[in-house]
Amino acid sequence: MRTCVGCGEEATQASLVRLVLTEDAEHPVAVDLVGKAFGRGAWVHPVGRCLEGAAKRGLARSFKAPVRVRAEALAELLTVAGGRRLTGLLLAAHRSRKLAVGSDAVTDAVGRGEAHLVWLAEDAAAASRLSSVELMRRAGELVEWGTKARLGAALGRSEAAVVAVLDARLASAVRTAVAVASVVRPAPGSSGGGGVQSVDESTEVR
């Protein structure tokens, strides 16, 4: 168990994100999603109000030093670090043959009970209506993150609309990273690139 520097509540390490202090005055805080970076760490829930609390006083109190960082900057750090981690996990699952790619392969994996998690691209309209995808959504075993092009690029294809993770440990890591990467979402209608909403209750991840 660790204590969130935002809300002060205890939580499991898996539900928190580790922040570390850097030597860089411009970017005093970095995200350590693997939990192995050197330096002093502080833990925070990847939700808007905890990032607010961390930026206001939690980090300074934990590090016993002034930390000049805004909640919005923390949220952006989490979004970027979470996205990078997700791309890495996708590739790791693919290389270790623990990934089913595409509608047919995902439907087969779900049918055989081998899919621990279905991961749908956010712009995958057709795949989102597959009965296998709907089944996993109802079971709470579905995440949505990234575009078809972004998932495809990680796998060396032009696009990938849906994949299934066939390993429990990888599936759990993907869930955590999606929660981190989704702490803020681009404003509706924006094509990304700076369209990050301010951190408030409405952008929070459950």
Q: In the complex, which residues of this chain contact Zn ion (CB under 5 A)?
A: 4, 6-7, 45, 50
Q: Which is nearer to Zn ion, 104 or 200 (CB)?
A: 200
Q: Which is nearer to Zn ion, 50 or 86 (CB)?
A: 50
Q: Which is nearer to Zn ion, 41 or 186 (CB)?
A: 41
Q: Which is nearer to Zn ion, 6 or 146 (CB)?
A: 6
**What minimum distance in Å lies between the beta carbon of 7 and Zn ion?**
3
**What minimum distance in Å lies between the beta carbon of 3 and Zn ion?**
9
**What minimum distance in Å lies between the beta carbon of 11 and Zn ion?**
7
DSSP state of 14: G
**What minimum distance in Å lies between the beta carbon of 47 and Zn ion?**
7
